[in-house]
Copies of this chain bind each other. A is one copy, B any other.
Amino acid sequence: MGNPKSAQSKAPKVHPRKATPAPKVCCGTARDIPLSEPDSEELAAVFAALADPVRLRLLSLLSSSPNGEVCACDLVTPVGKSQPTVSHHLKVLHDAGLVSREKRGVWVWYKVETAKLKQLSETLQ
């Protein structure tokens, strides 16, 4: 009895090693949540737009175009999906602010919103 451990036995049962050097160990720290719930939902929506292989290939096709823009009609064949499906994906990208659309007569041209991508890129690191 009376060993050194007894003095420690009344200490709170928190992770003993590598606890933060700050006074309060861990649980219940008043650290304000860095990313608010609305912000996280907004960000998640943008990432959700990128979370599809077809949409990534659409973006890839747009950015690799010499003009930086591609007619919607030229996007159906490369991605190997039906026209309604491609139209749906382009709408998702547009709603997320990742691409812009410009109608010229019958055709619709899509362009990557590089500013949005750059902003997103900075958010990551």
Contact = CB atoms under 8 A, between A and B. Distances in A.
B109 A18 contact: yes
Nearest to A37: B53
A29 B125 CA distance: 37
Contact of A44 (B18, B56, B71): B56
A56 B40 contact: yes
Q: How many copies does the complex hold?
A: 2
B15 A40 contact: no
Q: How large is the interface on A (under 10, 10 to 19, 20 to 34, 35 or more residues)?
A: 35 or more
Given A18-B67, A27-B74, A67-B18, A44 B34 contact: no
Interface in A24-43: 26-27, 29, 31, 33-35, 37, 40-41, 43
B26 A71 contact: yes
Contact of A47 (B41, B50, B63): B50
10 contacts: A16-B105, A20-B65, A27-B74, A43-B53, A43-B56, A44-B51, A117-B125, A118-B125, A121-B124, A124-B124
